[in-house]
Amino acid sequence: MINRSNLLRLSVIAWMTFVWVMLWGTFSIANVVGGLIVSILISVLLPLPRVPVEGRVHLLSAVRLGVVIFVESIRSTIAVAWLAIRPAPPPVTGVLRVRLTIKSDLVLTLWTDIMNNIPGTMVLEIDQTRRIMYLHVLDVSTDRAVSDFYRSARLIERLLIETFERDSEWQPSPWRSGTEDAA
Protein backbone atom coordinates (compact mmCIF):
# COMPACT_ATOMS: atom_id res chain seq x y z
CA MET A 1 0.00 0.00 0.00
CA ILE A 2 1.23 3.50 -0.84
CA ASN A 3 1.60 5.73 2.20
CA ARG A 4 1.10 9.49 2.24
CA SER A 5 4.81 10.30 1.90
CA ASN A 6 5.31 8.09 -1.17
CA LEU A 7 2.11 9.41 -2.73
CA LEU A 8 3.45 12.93 -2.31
CA ARG A 9 6.77 11.97 -3.93
CA LEU A 10 4.99 10.36 -6.86
CA SER A 11 2.79 13.42 -7.35
CA VAL A 12 5.86 15.71 -7.33
CA ILE A 13 7.56 13.49 -9.94
CA ALA A 14 4.39 13.49 -12.06
CA TRP A 15 4.14 17.30 -11.80
CA MET A 16 7.79 17.81 -12.75
CA THR A 17 7.34 15.42 -15.69
CA PHE A 18 4.29 17.39 -16.83
CA VAL A 19 6.23 20.67 -16.61
CA TRP A 20 9.10 19.08 -18.60
CA VAL A 21 6.73 18.01 -21.38
CA MET A 22 5.08 21.44 -21.43
CA LEU A 23 8.48 23.16 -21.65
CA TRP A 24 9.38 21.08 -24.70
CA GLY A 25 6.02 21.90 -26.23
CA THR A 26 5.29 18.48 -27.74
CA PHE A 27 3.82 15.38 -26.20
CA SER A 28 5.86 12.34 -27.13
CA ILE A 29 7.08 9.16 -25.46
CA ALA A 30 10.65 10.49 -25.57
CA ASN A 31 9.63 13.71 -23.78
CA VAL A 32 7.67 11.83 -21.13
CA VAL A 33 10.52 9.38 -20.50
CA GLY A 34 13.05 12.22 -20.48
CA GLY A 35 10.86 14.15 -18.04
CA LEU A 36 10.57 11.12 -15.76
CA ILE A 37 14.34 10.64 -15.76
CA VAL A 38 15.02 14.32 -15.03
CA SER A 39 12.31 14.36 -12.33
CA ILE A 40 13.69 11.29 -10.59
CA LEU A 41 17.24 12.65 -10.75
CA ILE A 42 16.12 15.97 -9.27
CA SER A 43 14.17 14.19 -6.53
CA VAL A 44 17.15 12.02 -5.60
CA LEU A 45 19.97 14.55 -5.99
CA LEU A 46 18.12 17.65 -4.71
CA PRO A 47 15.56 16.41 -2.19
CA LEU A 48 13.20 18.89 -0.59
CA PRO A 49 13.13 19.06 3.21
CA ARG A 50 10.32 17.17 4.90
CA VAL A 51 7.39 19.38 5.80
CA PRO A 52 5.01 18.15 8.49
CA VAL A 53 1.60 17.66 6.90
CA GLU A 54 -1.07 17.53 9.57
CA GLY A 55 -4.82 17.12 9.26
CA ARG A 56 -6.77 16.36 6.07
CA VAL A 57 -7.89 18.37 3.08
CA HIS A 58 -11.65 18.95 2.83
CA LEU A 59 -12.51 19.61 -0.80
CA LEU A 60 -15.73 21.58 -0.30
CA SER A 61 -14.00 23.91 2.15
CA ALA A 62 -11.07 24.22 -0.27
CA VAL A 63 -13.46 25.30 -3.03
CA ARG A 64 -15.03 27.89 -0.70
CA LEU A 65 -11.53 29.08 0.22
CA GLY A 66 -10.62 29.45 -3.45
CA VAL A 67 -13.78 31.45 -4.15
CA VAL A 68 -13.17 33.74 -1.16
CA ILE A 69 -9.54 34.33 -2.20
CA PHE A 70 -10.68 35.16 -5.74
CA VAL A 71 -13.40 37.55 -4.51
CA GLU A 72 -11.10 39.23 -1.97
CA SER A 73 -8.40 39.64 -4.64
CA ILE A 74 -10.83 41.27 -7.07
CA ARG A 75 -12.32 43.48 -4.36
CA SER A 76 -8.86 44.57 -3.19
CA THR A 77 -7.65 45.15 -6.75
CA ILE A 78 -10.57 47.49 -7.39
CA ALA A 79 -9.96 49.29 -4.06
CA VAL A 80 -6.24 49.73 -4.77
CA ALA A 81 -6.98 50.95 -8.32
CA TRP A 82 -9.45 53.49 -6.94
CA LEU A 83 -6.91 54.69 -4.37
CA ALA A 84 -4.41 55.18 -7.20
CA ILE A 85 -6.67 57.22 -9.51
CA ARG A 86 -8.96 59.09 -7.13
CA PRO A 87 -8.51 62.85 -6.90
CA ALA A 88 -7.45 62.91 -3.25
CA PRO A 89 -4.32 62.73 -1.13
CA PRO A 90 -2.64 59.33 -0.76
CA PRO A 91 -4.32 56.98 1.72
CA VAL A 92 -3.19 56.56 5.30
CA THR A 93 -1.16 53.36 5.54
CA GLY A 94 -0.31 51.39 8.63
CA VAL A 95 0.95 48.21 10.17
CA LEU A 96 -1.69 46.00 11.76
CA ARG A 97 -1.22 43.00 14.02
CA VAL A 98 -3.16 39.77 13.59
CA ARG A 99 -3.02 36.91 16.10
CA LEU A 100 -3.84 33.61 14.40
CA THR A 101 -5.15 30.32 15.78
CA ILE A 102 -3.64 28.26 12.97
CA LYS A 103 -1.74 25.25 14.33
CA SER A 104 0.31 24.01 11.39
CA ASP A 105 3.36 25.81 10.03
CA LEU A 106 2.35 24.75 6.52
CA VAL A 107 -1.11 26.34 6.87
CA LEU A 108 0.49 29.41 8.45
CA THR A 109 2.65 29.69 5.33
CA LEU A 110 -0.44 29.36 3.14
CA TRP A 111 -2.16 32.19 5.06
CA THR A 112 0.94 34.35 4.65
CA ASP A 113 1.11 33.64 0.91
CA ILE A 114 -2.58 34.41 0.45
CA MET A 115 -2.32 37.71 2.33
CA ASN A 116 0.79 38.70 0.36
CA ASN A 117 -1.06 38.05 -2.90
CA ILE A 118 -4.09 40.16 -2.01
CA PRO A 119 -3.44 43.70 -3.28
CA GLY A 120 -2.98 46.30 -0.57
CA THR A 121 -1.51 43.98 2.07
CA MET A 122 1.99 42.69 2.72
CA VAL A 123 3.22 40.52 5.59
CA LEU A 124 6.16 42.27 7.24
CA GLU A 125 6.94 40.06 10.20
CA ILE A 126 5.96 36.63 11.44
CA ASP A 127 6.17 35.62 15.09
CA GLN A 128 5.93 31.90 14.46
CA THR A 129 5.93 30.87 18.10
CA ARG A 130 3.11 33.18 19.22
CA ARG A 131 1.33 33.10 15.82
CA ILE A 132 1.31 36.89 15.51
CA MET A 133 1.58 38.45 12.07
CA TYR A 134 2.38 42.08 11.31
CA LEU A 135 1.02 43.32 7.99
CA HIS A 136 1.39 46.57 6.11
CA VAL A 137 -2.07 47.64 4.97
CA LEU A 138 -2.45 50.23 2.23
CA ASP A 139 -5.59 51.91 3.57
CA VAL A 140 -6.25 52.32 7.30
CA SER A 141 -7.81 55.79 6.97
CA THR A 142 -11.19 54.78 8.41
CA ASP A 143 -12.47 52.38 11.03
CA ARG A 144 -14.40 50.63 8.27
CA ALA A 145 -11.23 50.03 6.23
CA VAL A 146 -9.48 48.54 9.26
CA SER A 147 -12.46 46.35 10.14
CA ASP A 148 -12.71 45.21 6.50
CA PHE A 149 -9.08 44.12 6.64
CA TYR A 150 -9.60 42.18 9.87
CA ARG A 151 -12.80 40.63 8.51
CA SER A 152 -10.95 39.43 5.42
CA ALA A 153 -7.96 38.13 7.41
CA ARG A 154 -10.24 36.24 9.85
CA LEU A 155 -12.39 34.81 7.05
CA ILE A 156 -9.35 33.43 5.25
CA GLU A 157 -8.00 32.04 8.53
CA ARG A 158 -11.33 30.36 9.34
CA LEU A 159 -11.56 28.82 5.86
CA LEU A 160 -7.98 27.55 6.04
CA ILE A 161 -8.76 25.92 9.38
CA GLU A 162 -11.96 24.37 7.95
CA THR A 163 -10.00 23.13 4.94
CA PHE A 164 -6.92 21.72 6.68
CA GLU A 165 -7.11 21.80 10.49
CA ARG A 166 -10.46 20.64 11.81
CA ASP A 167 -10.15 19.85 15.52
CA SER A 168 -11.95 16.52 15.13
CA GLU A 169 -9.22 15.25 12.76
CA TRP A 170 -6.16 17.16 13.90
CA GLN A 171 -3.08 15.17 14.82
CA PRO A 172 0.42 16.61 14.92
CA SER A 173 2.79 15.03 12.43
CA PRO A 174 4.76 12.11 13.91
CA TRP A 175 8.02 13.55 12.52
CA ARG A 176 7.48 17.16 13.53
CA SER A 177 10.78 18.72 14.54
CA GLY A 178 11.18 19.87 18.13
CA THR A 179 12.23 23.39 17.13
CA GLU A 180 9.34 25.15 18.85
CA ASP A 181 11.01 24.89 22.26
CA ALA A 182 14.34 26.09 20.91
CA ALA A 183 13.01 29.50 19.87
pLDDT digits (tens, 9 = 90+) for 102-136: 988 888 999 999 999 999 999 999 998 999 999 99
CA–CA gap between residue 54 and residue 40 (Å, rounded): 26
CA–CA gap between residue 150 and residue 144 (Å, rounded): 10
Q: Are residues 69 and 118 in the same domain?
A: yes
Q: Are residues 134 and 64 in the same domain?
A: yes
Query: For residue range 10-27, what is the model confidence (pLDDT) as tens digits?
Result: 899 999 999 999 999 999
Q: Are residues 157 and 68 in the same domain?
A: yes
Q: Are residues 28 and 64 in the same domain?
A: no
How high is the pLDDT of residue 179? 47
pTM of the model: 0.72
CB distance 133 to 97 below 8 Å: yes
Does residue 78 belong to any structural domain of this protein? Answer: yes
Domain of 141 in residue numbering reads as 59-164
Q: Are residues 41 and 116 in the same domain?
A: no
Helix (H, G, I), strand (E, B) or coil at 126: strand
Q: Are residues 137 and 76 in the same domain?
A: yes
Q: Are residues 66 and 146 in the same domain?
A: yes
Number of domains in the chain: 2
